[in-house]
């Protein structure tokens, strides 16, 4: 009796199991070379099914050595064209042809393959894949009630993150390192458990990386060459909360049920963003709203009434298209990070779907600022009307976001009225930030001075001063110093030779600047500046040079992206600096906390900076 197994039944390990049950005892097992080629290719790509199949071939060889069966390898290895069309059934056809040629019983656990073989008149033995109950995984044994994640790697001591939300400690949980054989055993157990258990599935399977969802655990398995050793990271939510557990829950519940909203749930890693998102999702679903999720990987812990979607065809945009056909009332978008994610989030929201996005941010306002440049400024309040900031597992801040047409705070001229995004503290009702376009630049202005000391320069004062400096420096050749007298008055000190150029014929040039900025400007020489030469205004450092070219600066290498020119700065975080190219002043800016300055492409400043970069002029950052 000849028996020809296909690839599926070899991977399942059911050929040897059937022989051991006595069904094929004494038969000649004819393994097609096409099966060997498929298994070899999968193993070379680091795919576990290839290794599983090769182990089954080894078991068949052992049974042959024991005289239980005869084992032969038959047929030809498939060529490159046939291997390239394996997904279209070319390899399956080669194996069926061999079974027909050898007048053999064809064994498969693939339903489609079995149906096709029966239709062609073959003697078919369809063996259903074995389903066994999966017990406790070895990696689960490392968890206790306060463990959020377990981190295992070859030749390292196992570690875990344990503790309360917002107070996690990364600590060793064993005395000895884990060897490679044990790590390989753990990894295989996880993958096989996900395949065999109805409570698990493989979220991602790529050469060198598997991501598995098993019960409450999200498990990532890295293998060489993707990682420098076998690594397993298992994560489990340590708390499941209800929305009533959070402060300001009543106000938030009323707001969420009032109508579909655009909400960003923000916070630092480990702060409890996803835990809060899960609580909101369950609450909304319990109040007659249709709720879906968009996740990669899928690891939110929600009820069976909430369908969890991942990437469709490798793109969240396609998932969004499918969801628009499903028409959920709310969609939870877990991990909104890249520009494509924000664009998908915005498209879904503008289509009328309520959206809750989980975003990494270290301050409440940072979550909203991540939309700037990715979504048209005037559309932001339509996309996001609520920002919830989570810290240490608690709701720390809630912002209400809306648009008003008004004169921005700190400016006084009525003709400066424009659309302003007003960010209001939901609990206090007090406005805390305004976002608007100021002289072609999008600015975020804090309305409450965090320092609060006398003489402290406010956010709008800094922006106004920078814009005045930029305007005057585009006219003057020498050093420029600006002193703000009030919100609508300033004094500009320039070189005596620049007075006429700055004022212009009949005062026309300075009047144009005043009209653009909405600020009265008094132009004087440096000799009239009481701080000149005393270090107070910084004038003496560059009184003899053009635009501060004599000051020592930090040479930098700007990076040009699709939307910005990014200037990295080492130090000076939060300070105002001058940007120079080839020793000539370009503009003044404030260094972000992240240590960089971003200039929006398309602006006059960006164009001038790009020209300097094209000329290979050295770009330097000089403290103001």
Each residue's pLDDT tens digit, 203-248: 888 888 888 988 888 899 999 989 999 999 998 876 677 888 887 7
Residue 175 is part of a domain; what is its CATH number? Answer: 3.30.450.90
Check: CB of residue 582 under 8 Å from CB of residue 591: no
One domain for residues 376 and 249? yes
Lowest mean pLDDT across 120-134, 315-329, 343-357: 120-134
pLDDT above 90 covers a percentage of the chain that reads 33
pLDDT tens-digit readout, 164-186: 766 788 999 999 999 999 999 99
Higher-pLDDT residue of 248 and 322 is 322
Q: Both tokens of residue 343?
A: 């664009």
Lowest mean pLDDT across 21-25, 457-461, 491-495: 457-461
pLDDT band at 81 (very low <50, low <70, confident <90, very high): low
One domain for residues 68 and 217? no
pLDDT at 334 over 80: yes
Q: Is residue 25 part of a domain?
A: yes
Mean pLDDT value of segment 325-345: 92
Q: Is residue 132 part of a domain?
A: no
Of 506, 531, 548, the residue that ends a domain is: 548
Of 235, 253, 273, the residue that ends a domain is: 235
pLDDT band at 103 (very low <50, low <70, confident <90, very high): very high
Contacts 24+ apart (CB under 8 A), 312-319: 316/340, 316/341, 316/344, 317/343, 317/344, 319/294, 319/344
Sheet holding 307-309, edge to edge: 307-309, 291-294, 330-333, 354-360, 262-267, 386-391, 394-406, 418-425, 431-438, 441-446
SS3 35: helix
The H-or-E segment that residue 293 falls in is strand 291-294
pLDDT at 549 over 50: no
Residue 506 is part of a domain; what is its CATH number? Answer: 3.30.300
Check: CB of residue 114 under 8 Å from CB of residue 124: yes
Q: In whole angstroms, what is the distance from residue 550 CA to residue 125 CA? A: 87
Please tell me the predicted confidence (pLDDT) of residue 345.
96
pLDDT band at 340 (very low <50, low <70, confident <90, very high): very high
Q: Is residue 183 part of a domain?
A: yes
One domain for residues 20 and 114? yes
One domain for residues 503 and 605? no
The H-or-E segment that residue 411 falls in is none
Residue 39 is part of a domain; what is its CATH number? Answer: 3.40.50.1010
Please tell me the predicted confidence (pLDDT) of residue 490.
87
Mean pLDDT of the chain: 84
pLDDT above 70 covers a percentage of the chain that reads 89
pLDDT at 540 over 50: no
Q: Is residue 131 part of a domain?
A: no
Higher-pLDDT residue of 243 and 196 is 243
One domain for residues 567 and 493? no
Domain, as residue range, for 562:
551-624
pLDDT at 196 over 50: yes
Cβ density class 250-262: b for 16+ within 10 Å, e for less: eebbebbeeebbb
pLDDT band at 330 (very low <50, low <70, confident <90, very high): very high
pLDDT band at 535 (very low <50, low <70, confident <90, very high): very low
One domain for residues 33 and 154? no
480 CB burial (10 A radius; 0-12, 13-18, 19+): buried
- DSSP letter at 178? B
Of 504, 527, 548, the residue that ends a domain is: 548
Please tell me the predicted confidence (pLDDT) of residue 551.
45
Q: In whole angstroms, what is the distance from residue 316 CA to residue 339 CA? A: 12
Please tell me the predicted confidence (pLDDT) of residue 85.
53
pLDDT at 268 over 90: no
Lowest mean pLDDT across 27-41, 209-223, 233-247, 362-376: 233-247
Mean pLDDT value of segment 312-323: 92
pLDDT at 87 over 60: no
pLDDT at 442 over 70: yes
One domain for residues 253 and 356? yes
Please tell me the predicted confidence (pLDDT) of residue 80.
65
Please tell me the predicted confidence (pLDDT) of residue 57.
94
One domain for residues 422 and 569? no
Q: Is residue 133 part of a domain?
A: no
Our count of domains for the chain comes to 5
Region for 531 from its dihedrals, namely left if φ exceeds 0, alpha if ψ lies in -120 to 50, beta otherwise:
alpha
pLDDT tens-digit readout, 138-155: 999 999 988 989 999 999
One domain for residues 463 and 519? yes
pLDDT tens-digit readout, 391-425: 988 899 999 999 988 877 766 666 677 889 999 99
As beta bridge partners, residue 620 has 555, 580
Check: CB of residue 297 under 8 Å from CB of residue 218: yes
One domain for residues 398 and 266? yes
Mean pLDDT value of segment 572-584: 80
């Amino acid at each position: 009796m000849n028996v020809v197994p296909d690839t599926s039944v070899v991977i399942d390990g059911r050929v040897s199991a059937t022989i051991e049950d006595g069904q094929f005892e004494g038969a000649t097992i004819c393994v097609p070379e096409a099966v060997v080629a498929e298994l070899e290719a999968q193993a070379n790509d680091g795919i576990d099914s290839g290794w599983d199949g090769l182990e089954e071939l080894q078991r068949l060889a052992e049974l042959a050595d024991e005289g239980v069966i005869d084992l032969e390898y038959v047929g030809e290895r498939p060529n490159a064209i046939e291997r390239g069309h394996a997904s279209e059934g070319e390899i399956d056809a080669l194996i069926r042809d061999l079974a027909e040629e050898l007048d053999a019983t064809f064994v498969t656990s693939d339903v489609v393959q079995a149906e096709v073989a029966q239709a062609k008149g073959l003697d078919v033995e369809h063996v259903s894949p074995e389903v066994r109950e999966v017990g406790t995984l070895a990696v689960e044994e490392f968890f206790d009630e306060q463990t959020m994640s377990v981190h295992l790697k070859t030749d390292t001591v196992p570690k875990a993150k344990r503790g309360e939300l917002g107070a996690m400690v990364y600590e060793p949980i064993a005395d000895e390192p884990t060897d490679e054989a044990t790590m390989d055993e753990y990894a295989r157990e996880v993958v096989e458990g996900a395949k065999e258990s109805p409570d698990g599935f493989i979220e991602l399977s790529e050469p060198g990386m598997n991501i598995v969802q098993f019960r409450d655990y999200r498990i990532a398995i890295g293998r060489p060459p993707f990682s420098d050793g076998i690594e397993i990271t298992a994560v489990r939510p340590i708390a499941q909360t209800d929305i009533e557990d959070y402060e300001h829950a009543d106000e938030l519940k009323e707001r969420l049920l009032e109508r579909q909203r655009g909400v960003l749930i923000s916070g630092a890693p480990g702060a409890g963003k996803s835990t809060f998102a899960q609580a909101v999702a369950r609450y909304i679903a319990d109040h007659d709203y249709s709720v879906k999720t968009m996740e990669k990987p899928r690891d939110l812990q929600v009820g069976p009434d909430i369908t969890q979607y991942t990437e469709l065809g490798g793109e969240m945009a396609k998932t969004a298209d499918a969801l628009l056909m499903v028409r959920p009332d709310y969609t939870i978008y877990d991990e909104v990070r890249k520009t494509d994610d924000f664009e998908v989030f915005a498209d879904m929201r503008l289509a009328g779907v309520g959206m809750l996005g989980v975003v990494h941010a270290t301050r409440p306002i940072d979550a909203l600022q991540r939309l700037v440049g990715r979504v048209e400024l005037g559309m932001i309040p339509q996309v996001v009307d609520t920002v919830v900031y989570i810290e240490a597992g608690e709701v720390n801040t809630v912002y209400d976001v809306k648009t008003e047409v008004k004169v921005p705070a700190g400016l006084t001229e009525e003709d400066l009225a424009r659309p302003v995004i007003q960010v209001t503290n939901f609990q206090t009702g007090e406005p805390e930030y305004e976002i608007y376009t100021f002289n072609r630049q999008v600015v975020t202005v804090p309305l409450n001075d965090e320092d609060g000391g006398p003489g402290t320069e406010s956010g709008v004062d800094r922006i106004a001063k920078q814009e005045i400096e930029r305007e005057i420096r585009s006219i003057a050749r020498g050093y420029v110093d600006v002193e703000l007298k009030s919100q609508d008055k300033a004094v500009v000190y320039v070189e005596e030779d620049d007075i006429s150029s700055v004022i212009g014929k009949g005062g026309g040039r300075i009047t144009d600047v005043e009209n653009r900025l909405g600020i009265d400007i008094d132009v004087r020489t440096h000799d009239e500046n009481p701080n000149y030469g005393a270090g107070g205004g910084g004038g003496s450092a560059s009184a003899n040079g053009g635009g501060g070219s004599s000051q020592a600066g930090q040479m930098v290498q700007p990076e040009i992206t699709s939307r910005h020119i990014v200037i990295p700065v080492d130090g000076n975080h939060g300070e105002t600096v001058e940007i120079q190219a080839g020793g000539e002043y370009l503009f003044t800016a404030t260094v972000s906390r992240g240590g960089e300055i971003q200039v929006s492409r398309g602006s006059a400043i960006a164009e001038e900076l790009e020209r300097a970069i094209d000329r290979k002029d050295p770009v330097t950052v000089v403290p103001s």
